[in-house]
Amino acid sequence: MSDSTQQPMTYIVKTPGFRRGEPHMAGRHITVAFIADVFTQDNLSIEDIARYYELTIAQVHAALAYYYDHKEEIEEIWAEERQIIAEYAPSPKEVAAQTDAVEERFRQRDPDGYKKMLEVERKYPERDMTAPEIAEEFGISAQAVREAAANQRIPARKVGRDWLIKRQDVEQRWGNGSQRKTEKTALGSRSRAASAHSDKKSTRK
């Protein structure tokens, strides 16, 4: 029986000075931690990972094999990344301000393209909407929207002085005429009651 020879296949390397010496694909800047993350957390298949990131099936298998052989090392990398994100990630208010600035530049540079983007976004159920946006599109006052958010009648989160509400929640609450009519009637009743109370006070004087 002849002696067998093992053929070395170096897919995973560590380069001093590159991402603190993290293991990565040879000749690429794609780390093992990244591949393991999209496989275990995002549920991408091996074939999809290979296609999306221009890797071979063998390279992806090699990265996952390294992960399963060195789980503690990779999980420490993930923990460090989460800590960095927690420390340096911008606040929701800063993100909103940056987004507004980018959208304003886009609107000025390409008004038609900006309108098309808004039309697409309006149909996206996970999009955050402000009270004025909801009022304009769904025919209900911004005040009624803010009251519903403040009184927890609809899922919402406050950013700065306004509320952000998912489009799908807005459509569920105000996406039909009867619901809008009910809310507008209720708001009108409160306004009339307040006016009547004010008139009574004036009469007493």
CATH code, 64: 1.10.10.10
Residue found by looking up tokens 């959208």 in the block: 103
Whether residue 84 sits in one domain with residue 16: yes
Residue 180 pLDDT: 47
Ranges in the chain, pLDDT < 50? 1, 7, 177-187, 189, 191-192, 196, 200, 202-203
Give the count of domains, the chain.
Answer: 3
Whether residue 195 sits in one domain with residue 135: yes
Distance CA 78, CA 71 (A): 10
CA 12 to chain CA centroid, Å, is: 32
Residue 183 pLDDT: 47
Name the nearest CA neighbour of 82 among 33, 17, 29, 30.
33
CA angle centred on 120, ends 118 and 122, rounded to 5°? 65
CA angle centred on 68, ends 84 and 72, rounded to 5°? 45
Q: Given 41, 67, 88, which residue is the final one in a domain?
A: 88
Whether residue 192 sits in one domain with residue 132: yes
Whether residue 104 sits in one domain with residue 130: no
- Domain coverage including residue 112: 90-123
Q: Given 123, 139, 169, which residue is the final one in a domain?
A: 123
Residue 57 pLDDT: 96
Distance CA 28, CA 13 (A): 10
The answer to the question of residue 182 being in a domain is: yes
Whether residue 62 sits in one domain with residue 21: yes
Distance CA 169, CA 147 (A): 15
The answer to the question of residue 5 being in a domain is: no
The amino acid that residue 98 corresponds to is Q
Whether residue 82 sits in one domain with residue 26: yes
Whether residue 175 sits in one domain with residue 135: yes
Three-class DSSP category at 24: strand
Whether residue 199 sits in one domain with residue 186: yes
Residue found by looking up tokens 């808004």 in the block: 118
CA 29 to chain CA centroid, Å, is: 25
Distance CA 18, CA 21 (A): 5
- Tokens for 116, please give them: 């098309």
Whether residue 100 sits in one domain with residue 84: no
Whether residue 159 sits in one domain with residue 183: yes
Residue-wise pLDDT for 126-175, tens only, equals: 778 888 888 888 888 988 998 999 888 999 988 767 788 988 889 888 88
Whether residue 143 sits in one domain with residue 98: no
